[in-house]
Amino acid sequence: MTQALDTQTAIAVIGAGAMGSGIAQVAAQAGHKVYLHDQREGAAEAGRAGVAKQLQRRVDKGKLEQQTFDAIVGRIHPVSALSEIADSGLVIEAIVEDLEIKRTLLADLEELCNEETILATNTSSISVTALGAKLRHPERLVGMHFFNPAPLMALVEVVKGLATDNAVAEIVHATATNWGKKPVFATSTPGFIVNRVARPFYAESLRLLQEGAADPATLDAILREAGNFRMGPFELTDLIGHDVNYAVTNSVFNSYYQDTRFLPSLIQKELVEAGRLGRKSGQGFYRYTEDSERPEP
Ligand code: NAI
């Protein structure tokens, strides 16, 4: 049976945005030392502070002991130089959804880390095969696709590119299981499983909005209450971030030779151009104050 990485293995997370911070929390909760790096100055510290803020709520509610809180937060190490992560056994990149930028980072990581280090990408939609194509050892690259928010969502897609070594995918699968997740294997088709299925959900909702069927709050409420979805499409894409979601839609659209089923929406393009990225920028379809649990119209 494949062994999961043990807790003596240091994990590195590159990109300390919404996903990277959440993944760092998951790995730290599982007992690993976690390096957190972001190219933006102060972002890794802010990522750790965000994790501490989330966990503090659980301490306040009596659901987490102070000692456990201290241990988890203490295991997350923001690092300003990428070279500081060199002794990691698994590096998970969660940077911007862009093929060339991710490729450049992965090439740098390959130079830095030793040959046994597993490289994982949290990409939502970019081909793992394409991401690995310029590596000297593409067999050690695998998709490890978490969902937002990473500490709460159980599913992890373990995505095999054409060159991915099965043993590497098995180790990542076993490790995700140890981290309390429910991993599934997927191949490197555009959008993998969930983002492929989710595209028409967002696209049709945006078309309904464009046609003036109802406002976002009404459409969200209908899907929550009648459709039994946990979140409607507009509050969900506000949570994901419109920059991320728009990049994913474009990536899936282009990967399927511009099949109009996956046509990106001008509404989403406008939101991105206006900087209304959703929760993270304070406004998307809804407005958000710092501690708002639910969107405010
Ligand atoms: P984000 O915009 O919140 O964070 C990205 C972070 O990466 C930023 O802090 C940025 O400064 C940093 N960054 C960019 N280029 C970098 C580089 N070359 N080196 C180091 N740091 C760099 O984005 P988010 O939402 O965390 O997404 C990150 C990745 O995770 C993307 O590939 C996205 O498709 C994927 N993803 C996003 C989900 C979501 O719901 N937002 C869900 C699952 C996957």
Contact assessment for residue 117 and residue 89, using Cβ atoms and an 8 Å cutoff = yes
Torsion-angle region of 15 (φ positive above 0: left; ψ -120 to 50: alpha; else: beta): left
Tokens of 183: 């991993």
CA of 183 to the centre of ligand 1 (A): 21
Strand 141-146 versus strand 155-160 pairing type? antiparallel
Tens digit of pLDDT at every position of the chain (297 positions) = 679 999 999 999 999 999 999 999 999 999 999 999 999 999 999 999 999 999 999 999 999 999 999 999 999 999 999 999 999 999 999 999 999 999 999 999 999 999 999 999 999 999 999 999 999 999 999 999 999 999 999 999 999 999 999 999 999 999 999 999 999 999 999 999 999 999 999 999 999 999 999 999 999 999 999 989 999 999 999 999 999 999 999 999 999 999 999 999 999 999 999 999 999 999 999 999 876 655 554
Where exactly are the structural domains of the chain? 11-187, 196-281
Q: Is residue 124 annotated as part of the catalytic site, yes or no?
A: yes
Ligand 1 lined by 238 (C-beta under 6 Å): no
Of 96, 99, 196, 279, best ligand 1 pocket probe by most atoms within 8 Å of the beta carbon: 96
How many of the other CB atoms lie within 10 Å of CB of 281? 16
Is the Cα torsion angle 198, 203, 204, 208 positive or negative in sign?
Answer: positive
Fold annotation for 196-281: N-(1-d-carboxylethyl)-l-norvaline Dehydrogenase; domain 2 (1.10.1040)
Catalytic residue among 145, 188, 235, 251: 145
Q: Is residue 139 annotated as part of the catalytic site, yes or no?
A: no
Ligand 1 lined by 20 (C-beta under 6 Å): yes
- Residue 296: its pLDDT value, please? 52
Identical topology for domains 11-187 and 196-281: no
- Residue 160: its pLDDT value, please? 98
List the CATH code of the domain at 11-187.
Answer: 3.40.50.720
> Does pTM top 0.80 for this prediction?
yes
